[in-house]
Amino acid sequence: MYSNKFMKIGLAVMALLVLSTSCKRQLKNINAFTDISWYSDTILVIQNDSTFSYKNYDTVLDQFSNPTKIPLRLTDSTMILSRYKPVGEYDEKHVFHIKGCELNTDTVRYDIKYINKRPKLIIYTDPFPTILSTDKRLEIEETNNFTPIKFQISDFSIGDQIDRSLLKTVGVYNYSNYTIEDCEHVNDKNLSFRIIGYNHIFSIERRKIEDYKIKEVMNVVSEKLGNAPEYRPMRQWSKESDYEYEFYRWSTNGVHIDLTRSKYVGNDSYKKLLNNKNWNLSYDDVVLQAILIETFKNGKPHSSIIN
């Protein structure tokens, strides 16, 4: 009698476990991977719950072949992503020549975001995030599986909007589908920004930081990022250079911070007199920058001469 009773209890527990497991397997964002295709520009990357890629490349015909789908392994916050990617090498003119395809597998976090009211699948691949688009409407809430680690330099941070009257444009870079401006702060020539979308901060640089302040800078950055910097002592990076360089470098969660200084070691006596121990601090975040580019791409070109 007791054995039958315990058997019934055991079966009930097993049934609950199976039900619990099946509930856990039901993704909150399953609609993002059901009857939907995700593209990088015009290239299909994910179709439904599988990646899409080409397994082979014909170097004679100069074309991909053998289209292949590989199922994604998904949780609410991560995916195991397997795709064939082109491999090859660059020539002396920096032209990439494809030699074949190689299977790459990564476990990465992802988010569903709405940029300009359009759904985007952000995959936090290394070293740069991948942002995919779809033409299909999604009825799904945004997710927050990745929290940027933000820094402020002189009360400014990447992604902030800045008053244009505080900026002096010193350079313009028109890329294929977005524009970056190099700007100086009109009241502080040692504070510079890269700007996207008219007045959004893309990156920040602070110059001429006194040597005695470096320790406090290093303590803040190391504590916030959770690791010590890479350090390279002062030296020439090439025999032809007239300068030696020293730097500390942090790179975590898409954040890149460089603390650098240089020393003139050439034959110009006047330039040697200008040597000092001051440092430059630069701050980039490739995740936030990718989102900014996606937000402001296909905008109007700019010029430092005429607009």
Q: What's the predicted TM-score (pTM) here?
A: 0.83
The whole-number pLDDT of residue 118 equals: 94
What percent of the chain clears pLDDT 90, i.e. is strictly above it? Answer: 74
Give me the half-sphere count of Cα atoms (radius 13 Å) on the Cβ side of residue 209.
Answer: 21
Residues 128 and 222 in one domain: no
Judge contact between 186 and 179, C-beta under 8 A. no
Judge contact between 39 and 45, C-beta under 8 A. yes
Domain count, the chain: 2
CA 79 distance to own-chain centroid:
17
pLDDT in tens, 75-123: 999 999 999 999 999 999 889 999 999 999 999 999 999 999 999 999 9
Which of 111, 133, 155 is the endpoint of a domain? 133
Domain carrying residue 104: 30-133
Residue 19 — pLDDT band, cuts 50, 70, 90? Answer: very low
Residue 15 — pLDDT band, cuts 50, 70, 90? Answer: very low
* Strands, E assignment, 116-178: 118-123, 130-133, 167-174
With respect to residue 50, please indicate whether it lies within any of the assigned structural domains: yes
d(CA 257, CA 153): 11
| Residue 165 CB coordination number (10 Å) | 7
Residue 29, pLDDT > 60, answer: yes
Q: Is 169 helix (H, G, I), strand (E, B) or coil?
A: strand
Residue 9 — pLDDT band, cuts 50, 70, 90? Answer: very low
With respect to residue 12, please indicate whether it lies within any of the assigned structural domains: no
Residues 170 and 272 in one domain: yes
Judge contact between 141 and 151, C-beta under 8 A. no
Q: Which amino acid, 148?
A: P
With respect to residue 74, please indicate whether it lies within any of the assigned structural domains: yes
The whole-number pLDDT of residue 307 equals: 66
With respect to residue 4, please indicate whether it lies within any of the assigned structural domains: no
With respect to residue 230, please indicate whether it lies within any of the assigned structural domains: yes
Residues 73 and 119 in one domain: yes
Residue 2, pLDDT > 60, answer: no
Which of 133, 151, 184 is the endpoint of a domain? 133
The whole-number pLDDT of residue 88 equals: 95
Residues 127 and 178 in one domain: no
Beta bridge partners of 148: none
